[in-house]
Amino acid sequence: MSSIIQLLPDHVANQIAAGEVVQRPASVVKELLENAVDAKATDIKLIIKDAGKSLIQVIDNGVGMSVTDARLCFERHATSKIRQAEDLFSLYTKGFRGEALASIAAIAHVEMKTKQGQEELGVHIVIEGSKFVSQEPAVVPNGTSFAIKNLFFNIPARRNFLKSETVEQRHIVDEFQRVAMAHPNIHFTMYHNGSEMFNLPISNYRQRIVTIFSGKTNEKLVPVKEETDIVNLHGFIGKPEFAKKNRGEQFFFVNNRFIKSGYLHHAIMAAYEGLLKDGAQPSYFLYLDVPPHTIDINIHPTKTEIKFDDEHALYAILRSAVKHSLGQFNVAPLLDFDRDPNLDTPYQYQNKEAEYPTIQVDRSYNPFAEDKPNPSFRSVSYKKTEVQPNWESLYVGLKQAGQEIAEMTFENEAVTSSLFDDTETEQEVRRTYQIHKKYIVSPIKSGMVIINQKRAHERVLYESFLTNMTVHQAVSQQLLFPLPLYFSPTEITLIKELQPALESTGFLFEAVHHDHILVSGLPVNVAESEVSIVLEELLSAMQDEIPSQSFSQNDTIAKSMAKSLAIKTGTYLSGKEQENLVHNLFACKEPNVSPFQKPTFITMSVEDLDKKFSL
């Protein structure tokens, strides 16, 4: 019987490895940027075309590679970072597996140019799908340049699974920002389709964060610093009043490597306990330096998850450090009451002793005596009334002793004879009633209908926004002064793409700058104080997934805005408002469910009520 187990060819093995290493264009960006950092570069350029599908190029001024190393770096498990197994527990560099370049070369057209500083000529290598096409000397600057073209050209199924260009671009920006924030001592620049997106000069950690996220980031940062034997912690946290609905500004770096940790995130949320609104997420940019032998960074293919030796101690240190910073910079409320400056001692009385008041008492004074009090005692005199009250006159007209005294009645301020709170007159017939400021009950022929007011309003707003975006007849209310709102460059790019759809709902934009926008008009049902909340929740929803079809994009916008603007549970509605909501709900095309496919109302027949009482 012939053997059925065979060794895979190298090109097949590289494609399988690429499935773990290269999930999307952002994965290539991450690997190439980390290699450039490990090459001790001080200037790194990232050039992207078509969200990485056509071109990903990383140019650095690092140490470069020799001719032999340039050819060998594309072999599987070839690395300059480790020599023996023990080196895995003392890693200070980024890449160490030696899979990245071999995997990338298996699924793309790769062009590499590299030269070391002491050499006169460099080398130019071209690879297509793991096959070496050419290798020749070339005059190139010091450092290395990788150009990755036509990603997944030989795996069309993987290419078809890529998301829209906006989504892939956002993932690339995320990877770029993570590497740039971890290394403020390196000059980073990023270009997309020929336009510059980021230009980050060499700076410190705070300046790098502010440059990336722009806007009012500098105002909301609170420094955190703690040094222990287990971890050296430094970085910044955001003030509670700047918390957002999304988790876009939450970063952990361990030994300058971005990681994700739900356990450490819980420590941050525990420190913010009592300071945040429901659903709000604080911003934090925290850098943890730990001994390499106390962590294992090889438990995940993308190396974004790390195993710590002593997680419990790290949790306690992180929570206490963040809580201490919130209190130290007067972000968290203190136990002491606020000092009133009006109670301070005036300057001219600071060195004087207090004069104690004296009390004079006339012990011989008798308030029931008819003679006047002692004139030597100073007191405030009141004019006596000449008519003395006759207490017996109050009992005239009452019944004789032994009989019941007439009961005294008092007029109430408000007389309520209805089971429900209403202000309508008796002539008006109530058709709806509100229960617990959450449900609206309305009688119908077969019984009654119970409506969830929040979900019902979501359905009404959703169909209204969708109709406006389809017909383009939305009404807008003009603002007297334009409203400035600050966002990160990534969010500004997203707002530019959503601008036509937002304008069709009633928003008007006077200008869109690189770090803020000027809103000059709002939809009729959006208050000025709600604009920032609505746009932030919309951006959070759109960043998760942006379909390429405009109808789907409009659908996502309508859902997000309906969710943000719908009346909340606990809101009192007058009788007229209740009736309008009921009428508008049943005038919708699909009144049975909310935009998120949850029921908006239930019905209860008279038979169902009879069964309840027959028990």
228 Cβ contact partners less than 8 Å away, ≥ 6 residues apart: 317
pLDDT for res 15: 61
Task: Count Cβ atoms within 10 A of the Cβ of residue 175 and give its class: 0-12 exposed, 13-18 middle, 19 or more buried.
Answer: buried
- Find the range with the poorest average confidence among 136-140, 339-343, 450-454: 339-343
**Residue 108: which of 151, 72, 64, 52 has the closest Cα?**
151
Q: What does the block give as tokens for 327?
A: 């209190």
Does 231 lie in the same domain as 161? no
Confidence of residue 388 (pLDDT cuts 50, 70, 90): low
Q: In this structure, what token pair is assigned to residue 204?
A: 């410190």
Lowest mean pLDDT among 36-50, 352-366, 481-495, 578-592: 352-366
- 511 domain-assigned: yes
Please tell me which of 264-268, 395-399, 419-423, 546-550 the model is most confident about, judged by mean pLDDT. 264-268
Total domains in the chain come to: 3
Is the residue at 547 inside a domain?
yes
- Looking at residue 417, its pLDDT comes to 45
CA distance 474 to 208: 41
The reply to whether 574 and 537 lie within a common domain is yes
Mean pLDDT along residues 116-133? 89
pLDDT at 101: 85
Identify which has the larger pLDDT, 274 or 139: 139
The pLDDT score that the predictor gives to residue 434 is 86
What is residue 79's predicted lDDT score, i.e. its pLDDT? 65
Q: What are phi and psi of 67, to 5 degrees?
A: -65, -40
The pLDDT of residue 393:
60
The answer to whether 115 and 67 have CB atoms below 8 angstroms apart is: no
Query: Is pLDDT of 523 > 70?
Result: yes
At 113 the pLDDT is 93
The SS3 of residue 110 is strand
Q: 247 with 322, same domain?
A: yes
Q: What is the mean pLDDT of the chain?
A: 79
Asked if 601 contacts 451 with a C-beta cutoff of 8 angstroms, the reply is yes
CA dihedral 26, 28, 31, 35 (to 10 degrees): -120
Here the tokens at position 122 are: 């460099």
pLDDT mean over 581-594: 88
| pLDDT interval class at 413 (50, 70, 90) | very low
Instruction: Name, in order, each residue with C-beta under 8 angstroms of 98's C-beta and a sequence gap of 6 or more.
Output: 75, 76, 77, 78, 79
Torsion of CA 208, 209, 210, 215, to 10 degrees: 140
Which is higher by pLDDT, 415 or 130?
A: 130
Burial 61-95 (b: 16+ CB within 10 A, else e): bbbbbebeebbebbebeebeeeeeeeebeebebbb
**415-469 pLDDT per residue, tens:** 444 444 444 444 445 578 888 888 999 888 888 899 999 999 999 988 888 887 7
CATH code (residue 501): 3.30.1370.100
Q: Is the per-residue pLDDT at 64 higher than 70?
A: yes
Task: Tell me: do 166 and 66 sit in the same domain.
Answer: yes
On whether residue 412 sits in a domain, the answer given is: no
Q: Is the distance from CB of 462 to CB of 562 less than 8 angstroms?
A: yes
What is the rounded CA–CA span in Å between residue 94 and residue 113?
A: 21
The pLDDT, as a whole number, for residue 493 is 81
Q: What percent of the chain has pLDDT over 90?
A: 20
Displacement of CA 43 from its chain's centroid (Å): 31
Strand order, beta sheet including 601-605:
433-435, 439-444, 447-452, 601-605
Q: Which two tokens stand for residue 394?
A: 């109050």
Contact 245, 279 (CB under 8 A): yes
Same domain, 246 and 150: no
The last residue of one of the domains, among 200, 221, 252, is: 200
- pTM comes to 0.68
| pLDDT for residue 74 | 83
For residue 16, how many C-alpha atoms fall within 13 Å in the half-sphere facing its CB? 7
Show which of 180, 200, 220 is a domain's final residue: 200
Last residue of a domain, one of 297, 328, 359: 328
Residues 246 and 184 in one domain: no
pLDDT band at 285; cut points 50, 70, 90: very high
pLDDT of 308 over the 70 cut: yes
18, part of any domain: yes
Band of the pLDDT at 85, cuts 50, 70, 90?
low
Can you tell me whether residue 379 is helix, strand or coil?
coil
Flag whether 419 is in a domain. Answer: no
Q: Is residue 393 part of a domain?
A: no
Residue 105's Cβ-count burial label (10 Å; 0-12, 13-18, 19+) is: buried
Q: Which of 173, 315, 178 is nearest to 256 (CA)?
A: 178
pLDDT on residue 397: 58
Domain hosting 181: range is 10-200
Question: 465 phi and psi, to 5 degrees?
Answer: -65, -40
The whole-number pLDDT of residue 415 equals: 46
Amino acid letter, residue 57: Q
Q: Looking at the domain assignment, is residue 509 inside a domain?
A: yes
274 or 377: which carries more pLDDT confidence? Answer: 274
What local confidence, expressed as pLDDT, does residue 389 receive? 57
Same domain, 219 and 191: no
Q: Are residue 193 and residue 229 in the same domain, yes or no?
A: no
Listing DSSP states for 179-238 in one string gives HHHH-TTSEEEEEETTEEEEEE-S--HHHHHHHHH-TTHHHHEEEEEEE-SS-EEEEEEE
Mean pLDDT over 224-235 rounds to: 91
In this prediction, residue 11 has a pLDDT band, given cuts at 50, 70 and 90, of: low
Residue 218 and residue 163 share a domain:
no
d(CA 118, CA 385): 114
- The confidence score (pLDDT) of residue 4 equals 79
Q: List 440's β-bridge partners, or say none.
A: 434, 451
> Could you tell me the CATH number of the domain that includes residue 35?
3.30.565.10
Asked if residue 324 and residue 459 are part of one domain, the reply reads: no
My answer on whether 115 and 178 are in the same domain is yes
Tell me the backbone φ, ψ of residue 47, rounded to 5 degrees.
-120, 125
For residue 294, the domain's CATH number is 3.30.230.10
pLDDT at 425: 46
Strand partners, 221: 238
Q: What are phi and psi of 510, to 5 degrees?
A: -75, -40
d(CA 556, CA 466): 10
Distance CA 196, CA 186 (A): 17
Q: Are 466 and 553 in contact (CB under 8 A)?
A: no
Residue 414: pLDDT above 50? Answer: no
Residue at 418 is within a domain:
no
d(CA 285, CA 181): 9
At 82 the pLDDT is 53
Range of lowest pLDDT (178-182, 372-376, 441-445): 372-376
Which residue's entry shows tokens 């070369």?
105
Per residue in 327-338, pLDDT (tens digit) is 887 665 545 445
560-577 pLDDT, tens digit each? 888 888 888 888 888 888
Among 186-190, 400-404, 473-477, 589-593, the least confident range: 400-404
Statement to judge: residues 220 and 170 lie in one domain: no
Q: 518: which 2 tokens?
A: 């000027």
SS3 507: coil
pLDDT of 77 strictly over 90: no
DSSP H or E stretch at residue 315: helix 311-328
More confidently predicted of 349 and 554: 554
